[in-house]
Amino acid sequence: MRLTGAQAVVRALEDEGIAHAFGIPGTHNIELYDALAVSEKVRPVLVTDEQSASFMADGHWRASGRMACVNVVPGAGLTHALSGIAEAYLDNVPMLVLACGIRLESDRAYQLHDVDQMAIAAPVVKETLRASRRDEIYRTVRRGCGIARAGVPGPVMVEVPADHYLAQDSVEQKAAEGGHQDGPTLERDAILLALETLEGAGRPLLYVGFGAAGASEALVELAERLEAPVSTTIQGKGVFPESHPLFLWPGFGDAAPPFARRVAESCDVTLAIGCRFSEVGTGSYGLQPPGALVHVDIDPAVPGRNFEAAVKIVGDAGVVVRALLAELRPRSENEELRGRIADGHAEVAGARGADARGADGGSGVSPSSLFRALQARFPAETVYATDSGNGTFLAMEWLRLEAPGRFLAPVDYSCMGYAVPASIGAALARPGVPVVALPGDGAFLMTGLELLTAAREGAATAVFVLRDRELAQISQFQDIALSRRTSSELPDYDLSALSRAVGIDYRCLGSNADIEEAVDWSASTLEGGRPAMVEVAIDYSEKTYFTRGVVRTAFGRLPWADRLRFVGRALGRRVRGSLPRIDRS
């Protein structure tokens, strides 16, 4: 079959089941967009900035498990998209980055957009591929998709030179080898040692990350077989159902509430599955796995990397969990343990209820009241997209989710501007499923114009802009550590005017008394197939457990001389700030 290069790319995308290509057309790839225009399976989505294209592709996969494409012009298109590509790389999100290359037919120097794209992308993708000949295009795109999905997932860049799009060539419609990878062979000795370690434990702790999402149902059986409390990473939120009586908390160290820390400290073995013990996930490494660590991950570089592991198992989470279940003896239900967990959650909820009631008489919206209202009005399958900073940690602590794919957060790269475009990608991937975005007002400034894309594409997402007119997470750290803020207060802007400009319905939420009405309005707007924006006057006066824990951990890591210097400086600034100013005029 003879196809143009552009048609070969589109045929490859169709055969890979890629339904959405996010990007902006340019002079180099107009032939590709012309071919996309007649595809009945791949929908090109025009974005306002290529950074958002990569965030949309990220949210698309996290919400649905289906990979999407980022379609960029040479040079500037790729560099704009790099933030989202790097987020996908560190958070193990498969993504096809289809990078158009400059023309090869010309021997002239200084072509438009001419930079070494392969070198630029190499540090933040699994692999870079180039279709050097026209007859390689189809196979190369298919191979790139296979690599992105295989083993440890991540983004892959495929560069297709611009002149290849136009010319016709024969195309053999067969995927190139090298994409599919069989999972690592389980070492029987490691499984037996893990079984021996778990069977000998008085109380194991189960710690799971997003790498265990495919084993979600089996994890419930494993936890009940071990009668083990279950903690998750931030990204792994929802991998274990959070209504289960053995669910502990997203984390178990200094960044968790006291009850979760006490339960974790009572354990004598840790079974960690599909997690890396990353800096953000552990609250700046503010935890210590109790007892011997049995560490399971599909990436051979992960087990034992940050914490010494007594048993290292390299393998797919589902395969390992099934192997353990085949031989583990069931334990009796531990009413004392389950009671401690239930009492701990009740204690946290009660304290937050008091905070919310206190806020009723003051100004602003209590986060706990807002999140309770969201979960009361929106159905269980709702997808929540958060942003770098307080939004992620608020949602992590206050939402209770029952399955993976419902919590989208930029974790290890922690890139601001994620929530709005990721929510659009999720809404396009799962039409009919409500999607709620939770950006801070600083993050919204970066990518909020993508609501124009949401309105045009019919991507029904409810965007709750958590508005406090500052970069809240940084302001909190500055207040605690430095007793003053620098460059973290935002200039004011008019969200109602912006919503009118992009054609989005808008409401302002200023107090707890109006939460239910605003949330109900947003849900009804989504049910009508339209995106909605709610400006929330959020009250951040109550710090999250995560923020308090990270500050304690970071401070405790300092040498004593630096601790004294920090405390002295902060106290001095507080005292000076409380003294009356003397008019020396």
Tell me the pLDDT tens digit for each residue of 171-188: 666 655 555 556 677 889
**Rounded-to-integer distance, Cα 229 and Cα 153, Å:** 28
| 239 in Cβ contact with 258 (< 8 Å) | no
Q: Tell me the whole-structure pTM to 2 decimals.
A: 0.92
Q: What is the chain's length? A: 585
Does residue 464 sit within a domain?
yes
Does residue 181 sit within a domain?
no
Q: Domain check: are 317 and 403 in the same one? A: no
Does residue 247 sit within a domain?
yes
Q: Which of 182, 194, 235 is nearest to 213 (CA)?
A: 235
Q: Domain check: are 153 and 290 in the same one? A: no
Does residue 356 sit within a domain?
no
- The pLDDT of 532-544, averaged and rounded, is 92
Ramachandran region, residue 317 (left: φ > 0; alpha: ψ -120 to 50; beta: rest): alpha
**Rounded-to-integer distance, Cα 397 and Cα 348, Å:** 10
Exposed/middle/buried for residue 154 (C-beta within 10 Å: 0-12, 13-18, 19+): buried
* Total domains in the fold of the chain: 4
* CATH label of the domain that carries residue 255: 3.40.50.1220
Residue 180: per-residue pLDDT: 54
Q: Domain check: are 24 and 164 in the same one? A: yes
Where would I find the H helices in 115-165?
A: 117-121, 137-149
Q: Which of 65, 63, 64, 124 is nearest to 99 (CA)?
A: 124
Please list, in sequence order, all residues whose beta carbon lies within 8 angstroms of the beta carbon of residue 44, skipping any fewer than 6 positions away.
21, 23, 25, 33, 36, 37, 71
Q: Domain check: are 396 and 460 in the same one? A: yes
| Token duo for residue 196 | 């021996």
Amino acid at 88: A
Q: Domain check: are 376 and 519 in the same one? A: yes
**Model confidence at 108: pLDDT above 90:** no
**241 vs 165, residue with greater confidence:** 241
Q: Domain check: are 203 and 149 in the same one? A: no
Token pair 């069977």 in the structure block, residue: 199
Tell me the pLDDT tens digit for each residue of 232-278: 999 999 999 999 999 999 999 999 999 999 999 999 999 999 999 99
Q: Domain check: are 13 and 34 in the same one? A: yes
Q: Which of 510, 513, 514, 531 is nearest to 522 (CA)?
A: 531
DSSP 285: T
Q: In degrees rounded to 5, what are phi and psi of residue 11?
A: -60, -40
Alpha carbon 171 to chain centroid, angstroms: 37
Give percent of the chain above pLDDT 70: 92
**Model confidence at 549: pLDDT above 50:** yes
Does residue 574 sit within a domain?
yes
Q: Which of 87, 73, 71 is nearest to 9 (CA)?
A: 71
Does residue 177 sit within a domain?
no
User: Angle, to 10 degrees, between the axis of helix 317-325 and the axis of helix 216-226?
Assistant: 30
Domain residues for 554?
550-578
Residue 541: per-residue pLDDT: 84
* CATH label of the domain that carries residue 31: 3.40.50.970
Does residue 101 sit within a domain?
yes
**Rounded-to-integer distance, Cα 322 and Cα 186, Å:** 12
Residue 480: per-residue pLDDT: 66
Could you give the 3-state DSSP secondary structure of residue 507? strand
Residue 582: per-residue pLDDT: 46
Q: Domain check: are 298 and 365 in the same one? A: no
**Rounded-to-integer distance, Cα 215 and Cα 435, Å:** 24
Rg over alpha carbons for the chain, rounded to the nearest Å, is: 25
Please list, in sequence order, all residues whose beta carbon lies within 8 angstroms of the beta carbon of residue 423, skipping any fewer than 6 positions away.
59, 383, 385, 408, 435, 436, 437, 459, 461, 463
**Rounded-to-integer distance, Cα 68 and Cα 149, Å:** 11
Q: Domain check: are 565 and 528 in the same one? A: no
| Token duo for residue 104 | 């090869």
Q: Domain check: are 156 and 193 in the same one? A: no
Give the 3-state secondary structure percentages of the chain, helix then strand then coil, rounded to 5: 45, 15, 40
| Token duo for residue 390 | 């307080």
**Model confidence at 471: pLDDT above 80:** no
Does residue 135 sit within a domain?
yes
Q: Domain check: are 325 and 213 in the same one? A: yes
Listed range (110-119, 274-283, 291-300) with the worst mean pLDDT? 110-119
- The pLDDT of 353-362, averaged and rounded, is 54
Q: Domain check: are 420 and 509 in the same one? A: yes
